[in-house]
C-alpha cells in the first residue's frame, strides 16, 4: 500500500467503524420506525432538481440510468441547492388480475379464485441525503392482499471519496435488509424485473434463497468501494434480528423458513464500462448462509450457497429512446443436513438453478415494452416437492409488459412530485412446478397459471 495513503486509510476506517457503531445504527433505527419495494422516490427528484427520467429508465423506477446509479452509489447526497427539501414520499400500486383458468382455491383471504382487484401496496418513504456523506431511504408498506403493515426495503449508507495510487475511489458503509437491495444494476432479484407484481398471481414454488428468501427478514452491514468509476466491490454480513424487533416491524416471526444461524456473508463484484451513449456491466455475486428449516432449531441448520453471474447493457440512442438488456444466472447448492434429519427432504444434497433475462425499449422515455423469459430447474426431491407429480422444481415462462408513464419527463398537472405509470403484464408458463401438463397430478396444466394483469402505479 502506498505510504502516503496509509494514514488516510487508517483514519477513514476508524471513522467508518465509529459510524457503524453509533450514527448509522441510530439512523437506521430511526428510519425503520418512521417507515417497503422502493422505486423512483419523488423526494429524491425534488432534492436533485431533476425529473424522474434523469435517474430512472422510463421516467419511473426502480430501473436506474447511469446518473441514477451514481446518485445511489454516492449515498443519495446530491442536491441542487442548499434549501431544505421534504424527505417524505408516497406510492400506491393497484391492479386487476385474471388467470387463464380459475385457481384451485382463493389465493388469499377476501379474494376469489379469479378476476381479482387489489390494492397491491401503499407505501410511505423517508428518503434523502444529509450533508455530503450520509443518506438513504426507508419504506413502510401496507399490503392490501394480506391486509397488514410491515417494513419494506431499507438502504442507508455513508460514503466518502479518497485516492489510491492515482485512482479515485468511492468507499462506503451500508446497512440494508435484503441481499442485493443496495445494488445499482437492476440485474439482481431485489430490483430486477418485474418491478411490480401481484401476490395473487400463481408463481413457481422454488427459487434460490437470494431471490427474495431473506428480504425484510434480515439486517446486513457491509463495506463497498467504487474504483475509478469502473470496478465495484462489496462485502456484507447478514443476520436475523430478534423476534421482538421483527414482530414490531410487521414480520411474521412464526415463519422461520428464512431464519439464519449466525451471520451470512454476501459478496459482490461488478465491472462497468461506458462508451458514450451506451454502457455495459458484468459481475458476480455470492451468498453463503446457514438457514434453520422452518421453526425447528434443534436439528441444526441447512447450508445454502448461492453463486451467480450477471450482465447489463444500456443504450441511450439519441437521448429520447432507451434500450436495456439484463441477464442473471444463479446456481444454488443446498446441503440439507437438518431438513434431511427432520424428513423434510428426501436428499441430503440438492441444487436449484435459475436463469433470468429481460430486455426493454422505451420510446421518448414514456412508452415502454419489456420481454422477460425465465427458467428454474434443479434436483428431484420427493419430499421438498411432494405436491408436484415429477417432484422437481422445474418451471419455464416469460413476462411481457407494456407501460405508459406520461409525466416521467414533464411536470404533471398535479405538481412536480406526482407521477403515474399504467401498465399491462402478461405472464405465460410453458412448464410449472415440474411439468407442462398435469404438473400436480390433479389435471392442472402449466398454461392454467397464465395471467393478465392491468396495474396503476402512483407516486407523490
Residue 96 φ/ψ, nearest 5 degrees: -120, 135
pTM comes to 0.88
Alpha-carbon distance of 213 to 311, in angstroms, equals 22
Residue 116 · residue 145 · CB < 8 Å: no
Question: What pLDDT digit, counting tens, does each position of 386-436 carry?
Answer: 999 999 999 999 999 999 999 878 888 888 889 999 999 999 999 999 999
Q: Which cell is 319 given?
A: 437521448
Residue 15's H or E segment, with its range, is: helix 5-21
The four Cα atoms 22, 26, 28, 31 give a dihedral, to 10 degrees, of -160
- Residue 375 burial class via C-beta count within 10 angstroms: exposed 0-12, middle 13-18, buried 19 and up: middle
- How confident is the chain (460 residues) per 10-residue block, as mean pLDDT? 35 38 38 40 85 88 92 92 86 98 96 98 94 93 95 96 89 97 96 96 96 95 97 97 91 79 97 95 98 88 98 89 96 97 96 98 94 98 94 98 92 88 98 97 97 97
Domains of the chain: 5-459 (2.40.160)
Beta strands in 113-185 (DSSP E): 116-130, 134-143, 148-164, 167-176
Q: Which cell is 46 given?
A: 425534488
CA atoms within 13 A on the CB side of 273: 4
Residue 419 φ/ψ, nearest 5 degrees: -150, 155
Residue 33: CB atoms within 10 A of its CB come to 13
Q: Which cell is 34 given?
A: 418512521
First to last CA, the chain: 48
What is the number of H-type helices and E-type strands within the chain?
7, 16
If we measure between CA atoms, which residue out of 209, 203, 214 comes closest to residue 177? 214
Note the pLDDT of residue 40: 62
**Helix 23-34 with 5-21: angle, nearest 10 deg:** 40
How does DSSP assign 75-107, residue by residue?
Answer: TS---SSSS----EEEEEEEEEEEESS--SS-S
Amino acid at each position: 500500500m502506498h505510504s502516503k495513503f496509509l494514514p488516510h486509510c487508517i483514519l477513514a476506517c476508524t471513522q467508518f467503524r465509529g459510524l457503524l457503531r453509533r450514527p448509522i445504527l441510530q439512523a437506521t433505527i430511526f428510519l425503520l420506525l418512521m417507515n417497503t419495494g422502493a422505486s423512483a422516490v419523488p423526494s429524491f427528484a425534488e432534492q436533485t432538481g431533476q425529473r424522474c427520467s434523469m435517474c430512472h429508465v422510463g421516467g419511473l423506477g426502480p430501473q436506474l440510468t447511469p446518473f441514477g446509479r451514481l446518485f445511489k452509489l454516492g449515498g443519495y447526497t446530491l442536491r441542487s441547492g442548499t434549501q431544505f427539501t421534504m424527505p417524505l414520499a408516497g406510492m400506491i400500486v393497484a391492479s386487476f388480475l385474471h388467470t387463464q383458468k380459475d385457481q384451485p382455491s382463493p389465493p388469499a383471504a377476501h379474494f376469489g379464485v379469479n378476476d381479482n382487484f387489489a390494492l397491491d401496496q401503499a407505501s410511505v418513504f423517508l428518503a434523502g441525503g444529509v450533508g455530503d456523506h450520509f443518506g438513504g431511504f426507508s419504506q413502510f408498506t401496507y399490503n392490501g392482499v394480506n391486509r397488514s403493515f410491515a417494513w419494506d426495503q431499507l438502504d442507508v449508507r455513508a460514503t466518502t471519496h479518497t485516492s489510491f495510487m492515482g485512482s479515485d475511489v468511492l468507499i462506503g458503509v451500508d446497512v440494508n435488509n435484503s441481499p442485493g437491495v443496495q445494488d445499482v444494476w437492476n440485474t439482481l432479484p431485489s430490483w430486477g424485473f418485474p418491478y411490480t407484481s401481484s401476490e395473487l398471481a400463481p408463481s413457481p414454488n422454488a427459487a434460490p434463497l437470494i431471490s427474495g428468501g431473506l428480504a425484510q427478514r434480515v439486517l446486513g452491514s457491509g463495506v463497498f468501494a467504487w474504483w475509478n468509476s469502473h470496478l465495484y466491490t462489496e462485502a456484507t454480513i447478514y443476520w436475523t434480528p430478534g423476534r421482538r424487533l421483527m414482530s414490531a416491524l410487521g414480520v411474521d416471526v412464526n415463519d422461520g423458513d428464512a431464519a439464519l444461524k449466525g451471520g451470512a456473508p454476501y459478496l459482490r463484484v461488478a465491472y462497468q464500462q461506458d462508451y458514450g451513449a451506451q454502457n455495459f456491466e458484468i459481475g458476480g455475486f455470492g451468498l453463503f448462509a446457514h438457514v434453520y428449516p422452518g421453526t425447528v432449531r434443534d436439528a441444526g441448520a441447512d447450508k445454502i450457497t448461492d453463486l451467480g453471474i450477471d450482465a447489463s447493457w444500456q443504450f441511450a440512442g439519441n437521448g429520447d429512446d432507451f434500450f436495456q438488456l439484463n441477464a442473471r444466472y444463479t446456481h444454488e447448492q443446498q446441503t440439507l443436513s437438518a431438513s434431511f434429519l427432520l424428513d423434510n427432504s428426501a436428499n441430503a444434497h440438492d441444487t436449484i438453478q435459475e436463469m433470468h433475462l429481460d430486455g426493454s425499449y422505451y420510446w421518448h422515455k414514456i412508452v415502454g415494452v419489456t420481454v422477460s423469459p425465465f427458467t428454474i430447474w434443479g434436483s428431484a426431491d420427493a419430499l421438498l416437492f411432494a405436491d408436484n407429480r415429477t417432484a422437481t422444481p422445474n418451471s419455464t415462462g416469460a413476462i411481457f409488459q407494456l407501460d405508459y408513464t406520461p409525466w416521467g419527463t414533464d411536470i404533471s398537472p398535479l405538481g412536480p412530485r406526482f407521477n403515474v405509470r399504467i401498465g399491462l403484464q402478461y405472464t405465460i408458463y410453458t412448464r410449472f412446478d415440474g411439468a407442462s401438463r398435469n404438473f400436480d397430478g390433479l389435471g392442472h396444466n402449466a398454461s392454467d397459471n397464465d395471467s393478465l394483469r392491468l396495474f396503476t402505479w402512483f407516486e407523490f
